[in-house]
Amino acid sequence: MDKPREIALKTLVSIEQEKSYSNIILNKMIKENSKILSEKDKAFISELVYGIISMKLTLDEIIKKYSNIKIKKISIWILNVLRMGTYQIIFLDKVPKSAAVNESVNLAKRYGHKASSNFVNAILRKINKSDYDELFLIKNDIERISKTRSMPEWIIKELLKDRNIEEVDKICKNLNNRPKVQIRVNTLKTTKEELETILQKEDIKCSRIEEMPNFLDANIKNIENFEYFKKGYFTVQDISAGLTAEILSPKENEIILDACAAPGGKTTYMAELMKNKGEVIACDIHKHRVDLIKENANRLGIDIIKAETQDSTKFNPKYENYFDKILLDVPCLGIGVIKRKPDIKWQKSEKNIQEIVDLQFKILENISRYLKPGGFLVYSTCSILKEENEEQIEKFLEKHSEYERVSIDEISTLGNIEDIKKKFTKNGYFKIEPDESKDGFFIEKLRKK
């Protein structure tokens, strides 16, 4: 029995049964089996799990073509064996088809009933790469994108509200890419040049990101156990998330609020930009997530962050007109970060849109009361749906004449980020589309008059 494939299968079934996020179950399974797995095995398991969850809709479409049993009637174990085999045949060029079929049949013998192995064998022997190519010939645009990019139709329809079909197809394609590991240099402990030298000595490939001077692309495996991560020389952060802190432009000795802060990536970046001078109040509704903020701050050597368990929809009179600047990265559907959390595609639905939009607006209205007159508030989401972003700001400004947009010209602290500046619209906000190097994000800066 091939152990990596068996662990991948158990992981996929656990994710479906527990309706949990793939990274949590995968990390747990790899940790439990770490003594018997090589780094190559771990990478293969991760590729299978993330790849299959990302491409599930497409894989099921191909399986349907050859199965005389409806997908819903196939046992969860055998369906995931079929998905694993199909994924290897269609998307993993280095795996011979014979190996993909034979190992899938072995898994079916162990985790199915007597006829399961014959059923799996019959289907997988018929599947070829041409089955995937045929999906690109579908005439209907929405159906074609859904079946080739493994994207629920409701997300495609939402994206089409303010984009053309080619743009939507490109976004859906990019959301299936494996995310790059980007790290932010902790300038309180080291410099970019010093960290580059350290990584090179450790034989870790890294490269500069011109748009964001404090960030590097770095191919670090097993980051949490890496000595210089533990020492707090850097943290993992996508440049789109880091940009929210840069646009807010926190300064030394200011009093800043990060209202939906956990796990603390943006909070700690603001503290670093402030040179660890001033005060950052970081709030989250869940205590265990507030503890993550504290852990991150301690590792990075930051002592100006005060982490609090607080509900951002509830007014706290002690903070009225209290803060110089506020970062409000509200809860969202997370469409812009699907490549990091592919489960979003299957766990969310169009029914969630109104629910999340109402929550966002409630938080925005409440938190806006905490800003001093003349202060700045950055509203951001890792979503790219109009309802969660532009429409929220327009509705808020109609209702709150004491606030105004900050023009592009005023946001002058961003350094050399021409590539990102191009993403500005005429209304003066950032809308970053997910691509090979960036997550999808919306960021807008407001001023309280």
Q: pLDDT band for position 180 (50/70/90)?
A: confident
Can you tell me the mean pLDDT for 298-311?
97
Q: Domain end: 135, 152, 175, which one?
A: 135
Statement to judge: residues 130 and 249 lie in one domain: no
Statement to judge: residues 307 and 441 lie in one domain: yes
What count of other Cβ atoms lies within 10 Å of the Cβ of residue 308? 13
**C-alpha span between 134 and 62 (Å, rounded):** 10
Specify the CATH number for the domain of residue 319.
Answer: 3.40.50.150
Q: pLDDT band for position 39 (50/70/90)?
A: confident
Domain that holds residue 118: 3-135
Amino acid occupying residue 11: T
Element containing residue 118 per DSSP (H, E): helix 116-126
DSSP symbol at 39: H
pLDDT of residue 411: 72
**Length reported for the chain:** 449
Instruction: Show the 3-state SS of 44-103.
Output: HHHHHHHHHHHCHHHHHHHHHHHCCCCHHHCCHHHHHHHHHHHHHHHHCCCCCHHHHHHH
Share of the chain above pLDDT 90, in %: 83
Q: Domain end: 86, 101, 135, which one?
A: 135
Helix (H, G, I), strand (E, B) or coil at 352: helix
Does a structural domain hold residue 317? yes
Q: pLDDT band for position 210 (50/70/90)?
A: confident
**C-alpha span between 301 and 297 (Å, rounded):** 6
Does a structural domain hold residue 167? no
Q: Domain end: 84, 114, 135, which one?
A: 135
Q: pLDDT band for position 321 (50/70/90)?
A: very high
338-350 pLDDT, tens digit per residue, is 999 999 999 999 9
**C-alpha span between 399 and 396 (Å, rounded):** 5
Does a structural domain hold residue 387? yes
pLDDT of residue 250: 95
pLDDT of residue 419: 54
Does a structural domain hold residue 145? no
pLDDT of residue 114: 82
pTM: 0.92
DSSP symbol at 388: G
Statement to judge: residues 375 and 248 lie in one domain: yes
227-272 pLDDT, tens digit per residue, is 999 999 999 999 999 999 999 999 999 999 999 999 999 999 999 9
DSSP symbol at 304: S
pLDDT at 221 over 60: yes
**C-alpha span between 144 and 168 (Å, rounded):** 12
DSSP 152-172: -HHHHHHHTTSS-HHHHHHHH
Helix axis angle, 56-66 to 76-91, nearest 10°: 100
pLDDT at 280 over 60: yes
**C-alpha span between 292 and 276 (Å, rounded):** 19
Task: Dig out the tokens for 85 from the structure.
Answer: 């085999």
376-428 pLDDT, tens digit per residue, is 999 999 999 999 999 999 999 999 999 999 877 677 555 545 555 555 555 56
Per-position b or e across 400-412, b if 16+ CB within 10 A of its CB: beebeebebeebe
Does a structural domain hold residue 432? yes
90-136 pLDDT, tens digit per residue, is 999 999 999 999 999 999 999 998 889 999 999 999 999 999 999 99
Of 172, 206, 283, 382, which residue is the catalytic one?
Answer: 382
Does a structural domain hold residue 220? no
pLDDT of residue 425: 53
Statement to judge: residues 117 and 247 lie in one domain: no
pLDDT of residue 222: 82
pLDDT at 170 over 80: yes
**C-alpha span between 185 and 409 (Å, rounded):** 27
pLDDT of residue 1: 58
Share of the chain above pLDDT 70, in %: 96
Q: Among 70-79, 207-216, 322-331, 361-370, which is the least confidently predicted range?
A: 207-216
283 counts as catalytic: no
Q: Decide: residue 181, CB within 10 A, 0-12 exposed, 13-18 middle, 19+ buried.
A: middle
pLDDT at 300 over 70: yes
Does a structural domain hold residue 189? no
234 neighbors 206 (Cβ within 8 angstroms): no
pLDDT of residue 224: 86
pLDDT of residue 437: 80
φ and ψ of 429, to 5 deg = -125, 160
Residues 74-78: contacts with CB within 8 Å, 24+ apart? 75/112, 75/116, 76/13, 76/16, 76/17, 77/9, 77/13, 77/111, 77/112, 78/108, 78/111, 78/112, 78/116, 78/119, 78/120
Statement to judge: residues 118 and 256 lie in one domain: no
Does a structural domain hold residue 227? no
Residues 269-273: contacts with CB within 8 Å, 24+ apart? 269/184, 269/237, 269/242, 269/245, 270/245, 270/327, 271/297, 271/300, 271/302, 271/304, 271/305, 272/186, 272/187, 272/188, 272/214, 272/300, 272/302, 273/245, 273/246, 273/249
Statement to judge: residues 312 and 433 lie in one domain: yes
Specify the CATH number for the domain of residue 7.
Answer: 1.10.940.10
State the total domains in the chain: 2
**C-alpha span between 330 and 370 (Å, rounded):** 15
